[in-house]
Amino acid sequence: MARKFFVGGNWKCNGTAEEVKKIVNTLNEAQVPSQDVVEVVVSPPYVFLPLVKSTLRNDFFVAAQNCWVKKGGAFTGEVSAEMLVNLDIPWVILGHSERRAILNESNEFVGDKVAYALAQGLKVIACVGETLEEREAGSTMDVVAAQTKAIADRVSNWSNVVIAYEPVWAIGTGKVASPAQAQEVHDELRKWLAKNVSADVAATTRIIYGGSVNGGNCKELGGQADVDGFLVGGASLKPEFIDIIKAAEVKKST
């Protein structure tokens, strides 16, 4: 069974209401491959979720950029999975490297978040990836496997999980993992899933690439056998996001 191409746009902490309306307008008018070829999810900041949800075309979906690790309560500043479900937001991004690095979210904490969000009915884009120091030390796969294991230890059903491999050294730096580097890690990650979870999960789980993806490099990256799409940062705020969505055509033609 072919894995459906997946393109996520992570808007991070950017935008005013006016800017968000412009981005949504561009997306609404875009000619892109149909839903059976590509699944498109955009992730605005929390405060704009209802605005985007109510104005975005219905073949594109909306994700939150994070949610709390358990049920709501006395957790000032946090947003619970239940609240996202209540707003009819289907997806959430968890374990992004910025949260791991800046907010000290551990592998175990991210694993707990993924399990809780799934239990509430959300679909999860779970991020993994190594720093430049870790890559240069040759420990890329150890790091990525440990991050994935913390999720695998807590999750039994993978049908609503997309893994985003995001080498930290490539996020927002303009440095991109070469198509061969991306394919190598995705292939290793799939082998890890086959060995440690199941062959079926390895074959069906989408592993997407994130890290300075743009209109110029998306086709070659997307053409790699084990790259099932992208999680796009800065470029998802620009019209070239449409070109990145269209990169799904490279898989359709193979």
Q: Give the residue numbers annotated as catalytic, written as ranges.
A: 96, 166
Distance between CA atoms of residues 244 and 239, nearest Å: 10
Beta-bridged to residue 16, according to DSSP, are none
Token pair in block for residue 217? 């490099």
Element (H, E) at 160: none
Beta-bridged to residue 29, according to DSSP, are none
Token pair in block for residue 9? 């746009």
Under a CB-based contact definition with an 8 Å cutoff, are residues 163 and 208 in contact? yes
Under a CB-based contact definition with an 8 Å cutoff, are residues 216 and 171 in contact? no
User: CA angle, 83 as apex, 82 and 88 as ends, to 5°?
Assistant: 95
Q: What percent helix, strand, coil does the chain show, rounded to 5?
A: 45, 15, 40
